[in-house]
Amino acid sequence: MKSILILEDGKKFLGESFGASGETSGEVVFNTSHTGYQEILTDPSYKGQIVTMTYPHIGNYGVNLEDIESRKPFIEGFIVKEYSKIYSNWRAKKSLGDYLKENKIVGIEGIDTRALVKHIREKGSMKGFISTVDFNEKSLLKKVKSADSIVGKDLVKEVTNHKIYKFQTQNKSGKNVVVMDFGVKTNILRSLSSVGLNSIVVPANTSFEKIIGLKPSGIMLSNGPGDPEAVTYAIETVKKLISTHIPIFGICLGHQILGLAMGGKTYKLKFGHHGSNQPIKNLKTERVQIAAENHNFAVNLKTLKNAVPTHKNLNDGTLEGIRYQRVPVFSVQFHPEASPGPHDSRYLFIEFLDMVLKFHNSTIAKSKSMLRNGNPMPTLKLRQAGAKRSRFLSGREGGKKYAKKN
């Protein structure tokens, strides 16, 4: 089936449909990863975006049941040079095309993706529109222009899971971390779990009080889609959370929201960073880690007080990580959880664990001293709640749903 992609500035590309038929719009971005299309499709951060893969053969290894990052794909559309009709991998269960159709995602192939990428690189990312039904240029142009922009739009509310759920670690003495779900990738939860931390995943609009009520030893601000400034409610919540001195670790959108909560400003990059090969320098160790990135907005370091830059992108100097002074709070713009991408930055989860343990121990010390002083032991609501854990939210999530007590 014929399909057409048109950009906001009128540039158009003809191709063939390989996913769902119909129409879609979104901001067109490109991702330079050779592998990991399944993770990319299911990364909620791509809400509002149409992703172009720069590697020309996509679909080669099909789709399996394990490599998914959220409950469903949130991506608006998928652009490739050549979709592989057959797939080959021992874990594969179905073809990429079938997967896209099932999830009603429009895919277009046969595109000179390199020309498209160069166009975006030169002009900046812009809105695009894909259609398998309408080939009238005028009408398409009208549609693409009237499509929503990701700037100023709260996309988080469209991807956050509205239920609280828990992702348990094997470690019985594992501490609990509240994960604010701005569109969390499951591998963040897996990564926390791998260092022995339990995740209690809460919707993005969960109130400060509710979060504190969960008695977390740490807070993870997850990745997510779109413009951080639009997520005002979360910025407010995070401001309050910072003052509790509970350790906070922000990733990607979480990093940006944290920056805003700290009084800083964010700005939009020309075409963002989307790929698995970004050179990130750790300014403390002076070593370079190769990291996956997926963001269009960035934090402006100059607008922040009490912030020490910890990581920098060596390609363009973008700020990639911050440690805040006087509070146990740090964040990174890139994805230490990878998936897709290299595992070079896993150490950040261990650093977070150390902060969580330190906090936990000091809290216990504090409560012990309070106990000695005759004050009652604070109730750990979490433990009580744990008894009422329900079944898996979904097999693919790998995590457990946590039914809230109240």
Partner 1 sequence: MPKRTDIKKILIIGSGPIIISQACEFDYSGTQACKALREEGYKVILINSNPATIMTDPETADRTYIEPITPEAVEKIIEKERPDALLPTLGGQTGLNTAMKVVENGVLDKYGVIMIGANYNAIKKAEDRDYFKKSMLKIGLDLPKSALVKSLKQAREKLKTIGLPVIIRPSFTLGGTGGGIAQSIEEFEQIIALGLRNSMVHEVLIEQSIVGWKEYELEVMRDKKDNVVIVCSIENFDPMGIHTGDSITVAPAQTLTDKEYQKMRDASLAIIREIGVETGGSNIQFALNPEDGRMVVIEMNPRVSRSSALASKATGFPIAKIAAKLAVGYTLDEIKNDITKLTPASFEPAIDYCVVKIPRFTFEKFPEATDILGISMKSVGEIMAIGRTFKEALQKGLRGLEIGHTGLDNKLDYSKISDDKIKHRLKEPNASRIFYIKYAFQKGYSVKEIFELTKIDPWFLSQIKEIIDLENDLIKLSKKNSKKFPLNKEMLLKAKQYGFSDRQLAEYTGSDEVSIRALRKRNGIEATFKLVDTCAAEFEAYTPYYYSTYESEDETRVSKKKKIMILGGGPNRIGQGIEFDYCCCHAAFALKELGYETIMVNSNPETVSTDYDTSDKLYFEPLTFEDVMNIVDKEKPDGVIVQFGGQTPLNLAKQLEDAGVPIIGTSVKSIDIAENRDKFSKLVKKLNIHQPMNGSANTVEEARIIAKQIGYPVLIRPSYVLGGRAMKIVYEENTLNEFVEEAKIVSMEQPILIDKFLEDAVEVDVDAISDGKVTIIGGIMEHIEEAGVHSGDSACVLPPHTLEDKIIEDIKQCTYSLSRELKVKGLVNIQFAIKNDIVYVLEVNPRASRTVPFVSKATGRPLAKIAAKVMVGKTLKELGITKEIEVKHVSVKESVLPFSRFSGVDIILGPEMKSTGEVMGIDSTFGIAFYKSQIAAGQILPKSGTVFISVRNYDKRDIVFIAKKLSDMKFDIIATRGTAKVLIANNIEAKIVSKISDGSSDILDKIKKGEIKLVINVPSGSKGQYDMMPIRSFAVMQGIPCITTIQGAQAAVTGMEASLKSDFKVKPIQDYLKKIA
- Catalytic residue numbers read 252, 335, 337
Q: Is 14 exposed, middle or buried (0-12, 13-18, 19+ CB in 10 A)?
A: middle
Pick the closer one to partner 1 by CB: 11 or 163: 11
Q: Which of residues 102-141 bind partner 1 (CB under 8 A)?
A: 112-115, 117-118, 121
**Residue 160 within binding range of partner 1, rule CB under 8 A:** no
User: What is the longest distance spanned by two Cα atoms in the chain?
Assistant: 78
| Site map 24..43 versus partner 1, x via CB under 8 A | ------x-xxxxx-xx----
To the nearest 10 degrees (0 to 180), the angle between helices 253-261 and 232-243 is: 70
| The only residue of 81, 127, 215, 311 in contact with partner 1, by rule CB under 8 A | 81
**Residue 341 within binding range of partner 1, rule CB under 8 A:** yes
Pick the closer one to partner 1 by CB: 186 or 206: 186
Question: What single-letter DSSP state applies at residue 41?
Answer: H
Q: How many Å apart are CA 330 and CA 363, to the nearest integer?
A: 20
**Residue 82 within binding range of partner 1, rule CB under 8 A:** yes
| Contacts by 314-322, CB closer than 8 A, 24 or more apart | 314/279, 314/280, 314/281, 314/288, 315/273, 315/278, 315/279, 318/269, 318/273, 320/280, 320/291, 321/255, 321/280, 321/282, 321/283, 322/255, 322/258, 322/259
Minimum distance from residue 315 beta carbon to partner 1 (Å): 5
Residues near partner 1 (CB under 8 A), total: 54
Give just the sign of the alpha carbon dihedral 385, 224, 56, 337: negative
Which residue stretch of 162-170, 190-198, 233-241, 333-341 sits at the interface with partner 1 (rule: CB under 8 A)? 333-341
Pick the closer one to partner 1 by CB: 38 or 131: 38
Which residue stretch of 54-62, 229-237, 244-252, 365-373 sits at the interface with partner 1 (rule: CB under 8 A)? 54-62
Asked if 220 contacts 249 with a C-beta cutoff of 8 angstroms, the reply is yes
| The only residue of 7, 13, 150, 192 in contact with partner 1, by rule CB under 8 A | 13
CB atoms near residue 388 (< 10 Å): 10
Residues 6+ apart with CB under 8 A from 401: 163, 164, 165, 166, 389, 390, 391, 392, 393
**Residue 175 within binding range of partner 1, rule CB under 8 A:** no
Minimum distance from residue 170 beta carbon to partner 1 (Å): 19
**Residue 21 within binding range of partner 1, rule CB under 8 A:** no
Q: What residues make contact with partner 1 under the rule CB under 8 A? A: 13, 30, 32-36, 38-39, 54-57, 60-61, 64, 66-67, 81-82, 84-91, 112-115, 117-118, 121, 275-279, 281, 286-288, 290, 314-316, 338-343
